[in-house]
Each structure stands twice: as structure tokens, then as C-alpha cells.
Amino acid sequence: MAMDVMNKRNDVDFSIIIPQKNSILTLRRLFDSIPVSEKIEIIVVDNSPIPVTKDDIGIDREYSLLWAHPSRYAGGARNVGIDAAVGKWLLFADADDYYTKNAFDSFYAEIDANVDIVYFKMTGIYPETGEYSSRGEAYSLLVTNYLKDGEEMPLRLKFLSPWAKMIRRSFVMERNLRFDEVIASNDSMFSTKVGFYARAIKAVDKEVGVITVTKGSLTKRRDFEVIHSRYLVALRRNQFLKQKQLGVYQSMVIHYLYQSLRCGFSCFFLLMKEAVSYRQNIFFNTRKLFKGYNRYLKKEKKETEYIVR
């Protein structure tokens, strides 16, 4: 029996880690985009206050269902999945998104790549209408630019989504890399650190993920709890990059200060105080903000019905 378990552990190609909270209805779509194979391990980590069961999920195929306390958020759920995974490569998926038709052909084409990370492209969609969404466009552009000019650091440090990547599990375990257990931007530091510490990387000009725009999702929340979480992660990320003499790749933070004003002056002054504590230049890269402001306004207007404040 022990030998059978060991053989299985050495024989899994991919471990797909899926945090789940209030997303049971979309899980089937994601599962349907994943081939049925003993070499593909699916790990769903429930993050609900009351744990769901496989009967609640209602999907009749092999997968592991684990639980992470809600106080650990999606980052904690992903960490539980990392600790349980046995595959050669880690894939991270969100429960409301799904893989493209040929995604696993692209993954298996890189199964023996001698790198720690393989980056791919992704596309976006409004699921209610099937209309194209620009969500994920910036990440795909990073892949395009890398394949064109060979400059690694933008891809390594700016591809902040765990989606559309193959990450070697042994590398993650050796470096003890984990997600932040925070309400929002749990993936930012993880993606920055795996990109920074990876011994070698590769990029492939293939779309593997379909990212949806969902009403009330974290990306569309504008309440102070979420704004503050994203801001603190950005400050910590910027501090890490400055310590590594890579300050040019810092995240812009002034838009968080602007968003905090809608929550009251006390919120704004708290963020200003934290900027001073982290020695953050709040005007870093503001030219980029002004340059893309009209595009930002158009996107916010188009997605008004999805935004929750």
C-alpha cells in the first residue's frame, strides 16, 4: 500500500489548486475544462465558514476537498493546497474562471521544461454576455514583450496573477514560498517572489486561461477593507523590490489613496501615515496613471454593474 501511494506521488504531473468560497455554481465549468487523468490532481480548498461537502458540490469525479478557516482567506486556502499537492507542477485556478480548450496540450508540451516557471497568456470574458473583457490583457502583453525582446524582469516581477503559469512544486517547497493570508491581493507577493527567485523561466505564446468578470468579486470591490489590504500588500511588495535594488518595478499606490477618500478623510490619513512608515513615494509612476486615466474611466463605466462599494 505504501509503495502504491509513493508511486502515485511520483507520477502526478499537475496539481491544480482551487480556492472556493460561494463559487459552487461555477466549479463545474472549471472542472469540465480539466481533462480527466490520474496524472492531474485537483485540490479544491473550501474557505467557507461552514465547510461544504462533495455532495454540496455535486461533481462526480476524483478530486480532493480540503478546508481552510475563513480567517485565512483565499491565500490561506491556496497555502493548504500547496502543502497537500504532490504534482511536479503547480497550477492555480480560481473557481469562477476556467481553462481554454487546448490549455493542457500547452501545459504538457512544457512538462519537461528545465525551468521553475512557464508563463502563458490568458483572455477575459463577461460570462453573462460572452463579450470580451480586457481583464488579463496586461499579463498577456508581458508574455508578448518578453518573447519579442527577451527582457526577463518585467515578466518575472509584473505578472502578479497566479493564473496562466506552471510553477515547479519542488522550487516552491525549497524556497518555502506561500501566499499572503489577506483579504485582497494575496497573490501579489507570492508572484513577485516566485518570479524573483526562479532560477530560469520560459514563456509560451498560448492562451490557457479564461478570466471572468463577476459582480461582487474581490477585483470589483471598492470598500475600505479591500482597498487597505491591497495598499498594504503594495507597500510591502515595493519595500521588497527596493531592498533588491529593483525599485523601478514598484507598484503605483496613489490610486489607493484616491479611492480611500471616498471612505472618509480618516481612511485617507491612515494610508498616508502608512506610506510614511514604509518610506513610500506616493507619486511614483503617476505619469502612467494619468496616461491611462481615460481608459480606466471607460472600463469603470462599462463595469459599473459589477462594482460593489
Print the domain residue range for 90: 2-214
Provide CB contacts within 8 A for 121, sequence distance 6+: 136, 139, 140, 143, 144, 164, 204, 205, 206, 207, 208
Mean pLDDT of the chain: 90
The residue from 179, 214, 249 where one domain ends is: 214
The residue from 146, 181, 214 where one domain ends is: 214
Evaluate if pTM is beyond 0.75.
Answer: yes
Query: What's the pLDDT at 218?
Result: 58
- Whether residues 160 and 13 share a domain: the answer is yes
C-alpha cell at 30: 472549471
**Amino acid at the residue 128:** E
- Whether residues 271 and 199 share a domain: the answer is no
- Whether residues 104 and 201 share a domain: the answer is yes
At 110, the pLDDT band (50, 70, 90 cuts) reads very high
- Whether residues 132 and 7 share a domain: the answer is yes
H-helix segments, 33-102: 54-57, 73-84
Query: What percent of the chain is modeled with pLDDT above 90?
Result: 80
pLDDT higher than 50, residue 52? yes
The residue from 195, 214, 233 where one domain ends is: 214
Query: What's the pLDDT at 128?
Result: 81
- Whether residues 205 and 242 share a domain: the answer is no
From 189-193, 234-238, 284-288, the region with the lowest mean pLDDT: 284-288
- Whether residues 187 and 80 share a domain: the answer is yes
- Whether residues 225 and 202 share a domain: the answer is no
- Give the chain's domain count: 2
- Whether residues 203 and 251 share a domain: the answer is no
DSSP state of 184: S
- Whether residues 192 and 269 share a domain: the answer is no
Check which CATH number belongs to the domain holding 87 and give it: 3.90.550.10
Query: What's the pLDDT at 265?
Result: 96
| pLDDT, tens digit (0-9, with 9 covering 90-100), for 114-132 | 999 999 999 999 888 889 8
Integer Cα distance of 192 and 83 in angstroms: 20
As a whole number, mean pLDDT of residues 160-171 equals 97
